[in-house]
Amino acid sequence: MRIYRMDQAASIFSSRGYLLYTQFFPKFSTQHVPVPKSEEDITFLVAQSFVTSNKAETAPRHYNLRVAECTLAAVVLAKQHGIQLQKDNSSLGYSLRNFHEEYIRKQGRLADPLESQLDAVIATTEELLTKEEGYTREEIAQLLDLSVAELESKFLSAFPVQAERFLLRQRALHCFQEARRVLAFKACLTESDTLTLERIQYLGNLLNESQRSCRDVYDCSCPEINEICDIARRAGTWGSRLTGAGWGGSTVHMLPQAKVD
């Protein structure tokens, strides 16, 4: 079995002149999305923050914790809907995409457009995961009809995780809303033969919304990344956001060719 990840998929399957749309569930697939002619020449600029995310040191509070929070959000949502999730290939065996699929299957809506499916999943997440302050181990265990020891053994023992509260609502909403933004970006490119300035600004706004969500909802940005994006927007980018796993690394900016300098 091949297990693809986004970086490797982009390296292998990308084609010059196209954006690559990838799907990993229920099976891996790619689509080359052409970029229409635009009223103004567009450049994508990458800027390195030179902030290194030391995953060996910070993973229990950052990367590992997000994996655990997303997994727990998936199984809690499934439990509240009476859905028994089958294990998938994600790190802890249960993914938000898996919940999405089974929830929509239960609703009898698998033939609906993916955009409509995501809107429904976002709505039920907002309805059921209500604790903005996050959930304790005890609260999650109670929702899943497990003891705290069983919860920790099943979901929090594969790798180190440090947290008093797990922000299930925020992490799930970021993932679902980010997927929705990807579809909106793709639709904007494919629905017209020309990218008007209005459409270009819309694409830039999607990038900015993505960065705000990374900063405020998924909490995977950092002060230097935030500052670079703010500086870039003041200098004339349509949209700026982090790229990669976060907590450092690079930023990507969509801007007029005339403003690259």
Name the residues annotated as catalytic: 7
Pairing state between β 42-48 and 239-243: unpaired
CA distances, 253 to each of 43, 228, 239 (Å):
8, 10, 6
What proportions of the chain, in percent to the nearest 5, are helix, strand and coil?
50, 15, 35
Here the tokens at position 210 are: 């993505």
Looking up tokens 């899943």 gives 144
The single-letter code of the amino acid at 195 is: L
Distance CA 255, CA 3 (A): 34
Direct distance between the N- and C-terminal alpha carbons of the chain, in angstroms, rounded to an integer? 46
Query: What is the C-alpha to C-alpha distance for residues 161 and 92, in angstroms, rounded to an integer?
Result: 13
CB 95 within 8 A of CB 88: yes
Cα gap 154→148, rounded to integer Å: 10
User: In 6-113, which ranges are continuous DSSP H helix?
Assistant: 6-13, 55-58, 63-80, 96-107
